[in-house]
Structure 1
Amino acid sequence: MLHLAQMADGGLARLRVPGGLLSAAQARAVADAAEALGSGLVDLTNRANLQIRGLSRDAGGDLAEQLSAAAFAFHGEADRRRNILLDPFSGLDPREARDLRPLAQALDEALIGAAWIGRLSPKFCFVLDGGGESGVAATPSDVTLLATGQGIVVSAAGLASLALSEEDALSAALAVAACAADVGPDARATGIPETAMRAALGSERGPAGAAGAAAAPLRPRHGAMFPSGGAVAISIPAPVGRLDAGMLRFLADVAETEGRGRMILAPWSAVVLPRVRPERAARVLAASEAAGFVPVAVADRLSVVACSGAPACERAREPARALGAALLALAAAEPGRLPEGRRRVHLSACPKGCAGSAPADLLLLGASERSGWTVHAGGAPRRPGPALDRLESAGPAAVLAQLAD
């Protein structure tokens, strides 16, 4: 049975997708289950996992049964704790120092079998970066494994190992997680005593120089890229991380006809088809727009992140995700409204800021006790800075106008 979190719009099931790899059959199974048991809506999270929304309180058993038939594997307490984010371009990016897909699989298998896994915080997470262009090591995590020319650097809570072999890097990452489990069920890496952390990382030093690369910004990529062997990878942007059943079935169909039957979830609200013939790329992207995905030309200039908002969250008065989708739709329909350069908009219906903690060019912040938004520039939900304006209600045209100002 799957654990369901109770939200204002019903039960929510979090599906861990270690490494982000999803088969066409699995995508169809998620679409079918979301329609039959829930609201038909599925969220793509910034950890490259999936969330099925609007489930009844007792749907966990039926959902697990349906998904198991499509090769989803469930492992009890481990399922809520297999938080492994892998660069979606692993094995595709020619600039990466090392393909970390085997290491991600080994880490997942080790977590499933760990005796302490039930004591690890469900929020404890790992990020694996092969050293390529996307910079996923910048994603906040408890443990980051970053490949360099000398080996793999494991960093956690401001400390880092020396460059290690894959086997030693796996051992170090697991040792950090085991320390957190020993501290307590809600402990993160920052709660581990420094002496224990140094012992886990096998380092008697402070941060290693190579770990500094983790501070580089995340670099989302959209469209066709990385030509190799007569194929390209295609990154298809999803509107504010929200997929419906029809969009999932579209991905399944195109993965089977163009992408060798698989897809990879990306942590910037996109889905990657890894092996598409170059002459088919433009047609696939055009078809994705017709299916409800964001045009690449829009996604490359306007990044929109949003919390679930109303009516999905009890704390929210404003429909943050719906407004975010409307922003992207208006920009696609009227490209003249797009900003000149790349801009990031964050819509958070309350100060908790569930969509992320990074600063945005334009932040709209709601409040649980009243309707409307305060407008901030260059702020993050918990560090918004002074308000530039207040909008008692906000349509997409008004928000894009604020961005232009």
Structure 2
Amino acid sequence: MAECPGVLHLAAMADGGLARLRVPGGSLSATQARVIAEAAARMGSGVIDLTNRANLQIRGLSLDAGPRLAAALFEIGLGADGPADRRRNILLDPFSGLDPAEVRDCRPLAQALDRALTQAGWIGALSPKFSFAIDGGSEAGIGAIASDVSATAVPEGVEVVFGTGAFAVTAAPEAAVSALLTIADSTARLGPDARARDLQVTATVDALCALPGVRTAPIAQRRSMSARYGAIPTRIADEAAVAVPVPVGRLDAPMLIWLADQAEAEGDGTLRLAPWSAVVLPGVARDRAAALLAGSEAVGFTPVAVAERLSVVACAGAPACERAREPAKALGAALLALAAEPGRLPASLAQVHLSACAKGCAGSSASDLLLLGASGRSGWSVHRGASPRAAQAACARLDDPNPAEILRLLAARG
């Protein structure tokens, strides 16, 4: 993978320039979504990827398209100029302010952090990979996603965990931004490739506890992330937040425009990006949710019943990546489409990971089936219960893969 891209700073890929649009907090207006879709179709290939950190990637751009793309996005309030373009990695629970089970609505925290990072004089020294996860304490469990720093709402304030995840402080809500900035600034001082795990723990905790409203605290019991699809009840009795599954995280321009149209016609006019390959439309009348989801299937989105039973993650694959021979995204989408046929779904929840080379892009956790391609030959090796960086001997070889064979192997798991 090329150096972390932004909007102004494109990465050269096999299918052209790649722009990564950071959407801190993950929320877009319908108008913003349409502009992104139209820019992707006009300047690129029309392909838009939703990443596992809830950002958007526009593919197939000319390598000099960055300034034109940035101008279009800046005009509608998206993106940031200068080094902040690639360093506003703020993941927020897409159900913030909606989930009745959450401890606190953390949207103000995410917005304040974004503003502070954009204005920070040291931002250019921070690694573009440095990331934050902000969790209001809802059922989604966003704080469980691996990040340099996670901030999770707890009754006493905000629990801030950094580095290896073994160290935490609790900040009063009004002190949380200062605590998060202190960790990022301290990391930036170590060098452009440093991450929070490189910090000297005692000194960092001392610096945090010197801030008003911050104290040491034991780490609360860790939660796991829970992907949520379909009509999710919200604080408003007759409304739902509808989470539409995106097949292997890949949208095209018409699909994003359809979501924008539905957000205006059926919801509150906004879209929220979820890190489990879904787009959430808040403010939908509960009695309209089923019709909206049925309409989503007609334009290429994955049925909720399939997404809830079968998770398929896939790297960019061919022809997007020069290391890949196999079209991972296309095979993953075909797998989900076949699984929607009667009798095809696995008996219990299952995950398939398609990585067209040994690098293992798209995910690091173990999957029920891991399919690895190779740069030097066609086909896939199949591994059971494996993660990309710890794959054991292959249990099968698929030289001419097809979705039916993958589902058969999945059904035979023991």
TM-score band, normalised by shorter chain: over 0.9
Which of the residues 15, 29, 52 maps onto 2:35? 29
Contact 2:170 2:215 in 1 (8 A): no
Which of the residues 334, 343, 350 maps onto 1:343? 350
Which of the residues 60, 68, 75 maps onto 1:69? 75
Structure 2: which 5+ runs fail to align?
A: 1-6
**For 1:356 and 1:201, how far apart are their aligned partners in 2?**
32
Contact 1:339 1:403 in 2 (8 A): yes
Report percent identity of matched pairs. 61
The answer to whether the aligner puts 1:234 opposite 2:242 as a matched pair is yes
**For 2:178 and 2:75, how far apart are their aligned partners in 1?**
33
Q: CA deviation at 1:206?
A: 8.7
Q: CA deviation at 1:71?
A: 2.6
For 1:4-403, list aligned pairs within 5 A.
4-157=10-163, 158-202=165-209, 208-210=218-220, 212-213=221-222, 216-227=223-234, 228-332=236-340, 334-403=341-410
Q: CA deviation at 1:373?
A: 1.1
Out of 61-70 and 134-143, give the one that drifted further.
61-70
Structure 1: which 5+ runs fail to align?
A: none
**Structure 1 residues 120 and 317: alpha-carbon distance in aligned structure 2, compared to 1, 3 A threshold:** same
Q: CA deviation at 1:207?
A: 7.5
Q: CA deviation at 1:193?
A: 2.1
Q: CA deviation at 1:201?
A: 3.7
**For 2:191 and 2:217, how far apart are their aligned partners in 1?**
25
Contact 1:153 1:160 in 2 (8 A): no
**For 2:331 and 2:130, how far apart are their aligned partners in 1?**
30
Residue identity in the other structure for 1:335: P
Contact 1:128 1:144 in 2 (8 A): yes
Residue identity in the other structure for 1:110: A
**Structure 1 residues 394 and 172: alpha-carbon distance in aligned structure 2, compared to 1, 3 A threshold:** same
**For 1:72 and 1:45, how far apart are their aligned partners in 2?**
17
**For 2:264 and 2:95, how far apart are their aligned partners in 1?**
19
**For 2:410 and 2:90, how far apart are their aligned partners in 1?**
34
- The structure with the largest helix share of the pair is 1
Contact 1:159 1:207 in 2 (8 A): no
SS of equivalent to 1:102? helix
Contact 1:315 1:368 in 2 (8 A): yes
Contact 1:159 1:206 in 2 (8 A): no
Contact 2:141 2:226 in 1 (8 A): yes
Contact 2:230 2:244 in 1 (8 A): yes
**For 2:353 and 2:226, how far apart are their aligned partners in 1?**
17
Question: How many aligned residue pairs are there?
Answer: 401
**For 2:179 and 2:144, how far apart are their aligned partners in 1?**
20
**Structure 1 residues 374 and 108: alpha-carbon distance in aligned structure 2, compared to 1, 3 A threshold:** same
Contact 2:209 2:216 in 1 (8 A): no
**For 1:51 and 1:209, how far apart are their aligned partners in 2?**
34
SS of equivalent to 1:19? coil
Contact 1:159 1:208 in 2 (8 A): no
Deviations 1:10-40 (A, max 9, x none): 0001101000000101111011101110000
**For 2:185 and 2:203, how far apart are their aligned partners in 1?**
10
Q: CA deviation at 1:205?
A: 10
**For 1:263 and 1:313, how far apart are their aligned partners in 2?**
29
SS of equivalent to 2:204? helix
TM-score (structure 2 length as normaliser): 0.94
Contact 1:372 1:394 in 2 (8 A): yes
**Structure 1 residues 376 and 200: alpha-carbon distance in aligned structure 2, compared to 1, 3 A threshold:** farther
Q: CA deviation at 1:368?
A: 1.8
